[in-house]
Amino acid sequence: MKHTIWEWIGDEALLAQAVSNLSTLVLLGVIVVCILLLSKGADWMIDGVVDLAKRTGIPKIVIGATLISLGTTAPEAFVSVMAAFMGNPGLALGNGVGSIIADTGLIFGLTCILAASVPANKFILNRTGWVQVGSATLLVAIALGLLFFSSGPPVLGRSFGIFFLILLAIYMYATYLWSKSGKMQLEEEENNDDNGEFAGLFQCWLMVIGGLALVITGARILVPCASEIAMRFHVPDDVIAATMVAFGTSLPELMTAISAIKKGHPEITVGNIVGADVLNCLFVIGAAATAKPLAIPENFFFFHFPAMLIILWSFRVFISMNKDGVFKKWQGIYLVGVYLSYVALQYVLNVELPA
């Protein structure tokens, strides 16, 4: 039986079945190739973003918060919608919430620890940063309302999904207006960039889109291969669910962050993380709920939602307290510590994201 490319991209079971037939040696080889694809794709993408910012005059942090975050979260949205249609709508909520926790706790935390200096641009973060924490808090408030006031089990219906997608459209348009109104201020903060030769506009877009394609492909294949090897070495299923699955959905953001740090542009990571968090909430969960109503498991209320809010509101506090406009290394250590505690507690308490 032949399968379409969309089934290969969206069906987790199909991918898992395909890699289960490979030998361990072949799986290791595939993982090495995927890591190379991820690395090269992220490098191309960052180079394209930097040159695109210089060509168009749009600040790098704005491109990171819109174009790059949209590209890195689009596969998660597609997988979540496909999962909802295929009878596993709970995967969408796990994808969205788990990615927000991993993006801000692990990836941004590591960025603060590893980068020499991570700018806390107040113009962008005092706007998109509030949308980031506000959209997640709104999701939890709606979930609590459904828990306490609905007659049956809490279910995020299609009307809420459409509402989230409308908020997404408003956010994207507002981001465009904010970037225009603050363009001069943002340009002044980036005036120390190298003004040498850079790629043409078509080449910039080719590098960004091509890089995204490599990152998405590499991440999509690497995660089931790594999970299969973990199972062969008798790693417990709950450990794989608590680490590999949640980490895998944020792998594109991680590779983007590593490449951005290596090339000296951590502000792209800041924009990407904030934008990805907004999109994981409004786009990933909103699109999946529109496709099919999402049941909200009980463990989200006492475990996953609190972890998400602790990490996001801590990030919000850091933005407000960094008067010098730079994130501190201790703040990164704190965020990574919260993320690792969250992962460890999933294993200890046997609390899993839907998979």
CA distances, 57 to each of 48, 49, 196, 201 (Å): 14, 11, 15, 12
Rounded Cα distance between 31 and 220, Å, is 11
Structure confidence at residue 189 as a pLDDT band (50, 70, 90) = very low
pLDDT tens digits, 210-226: 887 787 777 677 767 87
Rounded Cα distance between 341 and 175, Å, is 33
Of the listed ranges 34-43, 128-137, 185-194, 306-315, the least confidently predicted one is 185-194
Token code pair at residue 330: 């201790």
Q: Provide CATH code, domain 59-194+235-349.
A: 1.20.1420.30
- Check residue 325 and report its DSSP letter: S
Res. 47: pLDDT tops 80:
no
Exposure string over 139-157, b if 16+ CB within 10 A, otherwise e:
bbebbeebeeeeeeebebe
pLDDT: is 328 or 194 the higher one? 328
Rounded Cα distance between 115 and 281, Å, is 27
Of the listed ranges 14-28, 106-120, 152-166, 223-237, the least confidently predicted one is 223-237
Contacts of 317 (CB under 8 A, 6+ apart): none
Which pLDDT score is estimated for 240?
A: 60
Rounded Cα distance between 8 and 1, Å, is 13
Maximum average pLDDT range among 11-15, 245-249, 254-258, 300-304: 300-304
Residue (of 140, 133, 146, 142) closest to 163 by Cα position: 142
Token code pair at residue 157: 């219906």
Which pLDDT score is estimated for 170?
A: 93
Which pLDDT score is estimated for 246?
A: 57
pLDDT: is 141 or 72 the higher one? 141
Name the one residue in this structure whose structure tokens are 């030769």: 197
Which pLDDT score is estimated for 264?
A: 77
Rounded Cα distance between 193 and 265, Å, is 10
Rounded Cα distance between 156 and 7, Å, is 25
Q: Give the other-Cβ count within 10 Å of 287's Cβ.
A: 24
The helix (H) or strand (E) run that includes residue 89 is none
pLDDT tens digits, 112-144: 898 877 877 676 677 888 999 999 999 999 999
- Say if residues 221 and 34 touch (Cβ distance below 8 Å): yes
Share of the chain above pLDDT 70, in %: 72
Amino acid at 290: T
3-class DSSP string for 92-109:
HHHHHHHHHHHHHHHHHH
pLDDT tens digits, 293-314: 888 888 889 988 999 999 999 9
pTM equals 0.76
Residue (of 271, 285, 280, 218) closest to 248 by Cα position: 218
The helix (H) or strand (E) run that includes residue 295 is strand 294-295
Alpha-helix runs per DSSP H in the chain: 5-10, 12-20, 24-56, 60-63, 69-85, 90-101, 109-114, 122-125, 128-149, 158-181, 183-189, 201-232, 237-240, 246-249, 251-262, 266-279, 286-291, 298-299, 305-321, 329-349
Residue (of 53, 62, 96, 113) closest to 274 by Cα position: 62
Alpha carbon 70 to chain centroid distance?
9
Of the listed ranges 29-38, 45-54, 128-137, 322-331, the least confidently predicted one is 45-54
Of the listed ranges 30-44, 104-118, 120-134, the least confidently predicted one is 30-44
- Say if residues 93 and 294 touch (Cβ distance below 8 Å): yes
Alpha carbons within 13 angstroms on the beta-carbon side of residue 46 total 26
- Say if residues 287 and 158 touch (Cβ distance below 8 Å): no
Which pLDDT score is estimated for 180?
A: 64
Average pLDDT over residues 46-73: 69
Q: Write out the DSSP string of 114-170.
A: HSS-EE--HHHHTTHHHHHHHHHHHHHHHHHHHHHHSSSS-EE-HHHHHHHHHHHHH
Which pLDDT score is estimated for 188?
A: 46
